[in-house]
Amino acid sequence: MGDKEYYPPRGLRDIVGREAYVYEYVFNEFRRISRLHGFQPVLPPTIEYYRLFEEKSGEEIKKTMYVFEDKAGRLLALRPEVTASITRIYLRKLRGEVKPVKLYYVSQCFRYEEPQFGRYREFWQGGLEVIGVKDVSGDLEAAYTASRFLDALGLKHKYIVGNVAIHRSLMKGYGIPLDVQDHVLHLIDKSMIDEAVSVLKKYSIEAGMAMKDLLSRSIDELESFIREYKDVLVDVDRVVFENERLIGFITSLRELGYEAVYDPGLVRGLAYYTGLIYEYKAISSKLRISIGGGGRYDGLSTVYGGPYEYFTGLALGLDRVILALEDGFSLSRGLDAVIILSTDIPLSYGLRIKSLLEDYGLSSMMVVVGKIGKGVRLASRKAARFALIIGRREYSSGSVSVKDLSSGVQVEVSLEALPLYLYSEAKT
Ligand code: HAM
């Protein structure tokens, strides 16, 4: 390449070295815990038709989408999120499954945003979606699974919880058009409360006043708010149901030992939410932005031509989870062993040792060297735990010289005893 340097496009990253290991570790933990909680994997395509996101993504996300035409003139987009794809995939492929259908994914998403700390143009989401559960148990099972994953990483976190059902029902009751409702929620999401209220007041003074009132209520005052506005609110029964869901969600999370607070100003950037919404924040981290978010999107299936169905779910921003972990996180293990083979030993011998170790979940790398000392130096530069030396003497006696690179102690161990020896030593 000469002296010309090639960079990835702005906002995109090359993830290598220790960071790449951390990413892999976090992805695997997310998958492991999701499966333990009964979620099944799904791998949606990275590129979708633009129109999949067009209607229900919300203003902010639509503005930041990578949209392009393919060679056949189809209007496509790099996915900015995965929930729309999940709904589409459910309708196309999973409708016949026994409900509830519970899915997880680890997928990269793309948003053309201004890059800054914790905000990238390509980032990774670990998502959980529950299909076919009407009551709060579905919301809780997804949220709790995400919490167990964060707990497994040692990341203290809290929930900020809201409920857009009241906001929407109120605006509908005052006859506010749907696109204006979306815009008002977008303004509230940006903490532009005064602007949101004045947009509403253009349509109805009372609507503006009522929204201001709603945004000032605590969770204990929501029931009385619903009573006071029952003649305006559309579908009061559903609003009451969603309010009970909100309270049930917060109560259960608190019983499980998590911090969960109600925020009337939380509306989230996506337009498909119909009720409960929440965000995850890392506690005692320099990262102030959300590390994840989710909520109810009942009926999104009808937007894609399917029957009405219950949906709830969330996505964690895995890049942000990793940032929030900072230095308080160490990989449990790097490379266990470097197998050092002198040049006159059959390669198959070294490779067979690799498979012995693999059976015990021990990782290894093999090098062939003229001088053993060179191999040992390389093993310590690779930060391996052990150097396994096989010269002529070890080969003919069916043994391996094991050098513990942290203590410097070297012992000769027979091939049969090797895996168990390493396994028990690696644990100390
Ligand atoms: P979202 O809040 O737009 O929700 O994104 C979820 C998470 O992705 C955010 O909380 C954040 O951690 C991460 N994230 C978003 N944008 C960026 C970025 N530019 N750089 C790094 N991380 C980012 C959704 O996408 C919904 N689909 C979540 C959901 C699933 N709702 C129901 N099911």
pLDDT at 428 over 70: no
Query: Distance (Å, rounded) from C-alpha 130 to C-alpha 140?
Result: 10
Residue of 123, 186, 281, 310 with the most ligand 1 atoms within 8 Å of its CB, for mutation: 123
The answer to whether the CB of 258 is under 6 A from ligand 1 is: no
Helix (H) or strand (E) holding 163: strand 157-163
The answer to whether the CB of 138 is under 6 A from ligand 1 is: no
Domain with CATH 3.30.930.10 in the chain: 3-324
Q: What is the pLDDT of residues 77-98, one digit of tens each?
A: 999 999 999 999 999 999 999 9
Query: Distance (Å, rounded) from C-alpha 313 to C-alpha 198?
Result: 32
Please state the pTM of the whole predicted model: 0.88
Give the range among 2-16, 22-36, 373-387 with minimum mean pLDDT: 2-16
**Which amino acid, 93?**
K
- pLDDT averaged over every residue in the chain: 93
How much is the pLDDT for 333? 55
Contact 131, 311 (CB under 8 A): yes
Q: Whose CA is nearest to atom 23 of ligand 1?
A: 317
The answer to whether the CB of 274 is under 6 A from ligand 1 is: no
How much is the pLDDT for 284? 77
pLDDT at 2 over 60: no
The answer to whether the CB of 110 is under 6 A from ligand 1 is: no
The answer to whether the CB of 83 is under 6 A from ligand 1 is: yes
How much is the pLDDT for 57? 78
Minimum-distance ligand 1 atom for the alpha carbon of 80: 25
Q: What is the pLDDT of residues 207-255, one digit of tens each?
A: 999 999 999 999 999 999 999 999 999 999 999 999 999 999 999 999 9
How much is the pLDDT for 306? 97
How much is the pLDDT for 366? 95
Q: What is the pLDDT of residues 246-304, one digit of tens each?
A: 999 999 999 999 999 999 999 887 889 999 999 999 997 778 899 999 999 999 999 99
Domain with CATH 3.40.50.800 in the chain: 337-426
The answer to whether the CB of 26 is under 6 A from ligand 1 is: no
CA of 339 to the centre of ligand 1 (A): 43
Q: Which residue has the higher pLDDT, 178 or 260?
A: 260
pLDDT at 45 over 80: yes
Q: Whose CA is nearest to atom 13 of ligand 1?
A: 317
How much is the pLDDT for 423? 82
How much is the pLDDT for 407? 92
Q: State which fold the 337-426 domain adopts.
A: Rossmann fold (3.40.50)
The answer to whether the CB of 127 is under 6 A from ligand 1 is: yes
Outline where 70-159 has alpha helix (H): 83-89, 136-153
Placement of tokens 């150097």 in the chain: 387
What 3-state class would DSSP assign to 192?
A: coil
Instruction: Read off the pLDDT band of 131 (50, 70, 90).
Output: very high
pLDDT at 147 over 80: yes
The structural architecture, per CATH, of the domain 3-324 is: 2-Layer Sandwich (3.30)
Residues 6+ apart with CB under 8 A from 412: 394, 399, 400, 401, 402
Q: What is the pLDDT of residues 13-29, one digit of tens each?
A: 999 987 898 899 999 99
How much is the pLDDT for 60? 79
Instruction: Read off the pLDDT band of 162 (50, 70, 90).
Output: very high
Residue of 119, 159, 267, 320 with the most ligand 1 atoms within 8 Å of its CB, for mutation: 320
What the block records as the tokens of 330 is 């160490």
Q: What is the pLDDT of residues 325-376, one digit of tens each?
A: 875 566 555 689 999 999 999 999 999 999 999 988 888 999 999 999 999 9
The answer to whether the CB of 183 is under 6 A from ligand 1 is: no
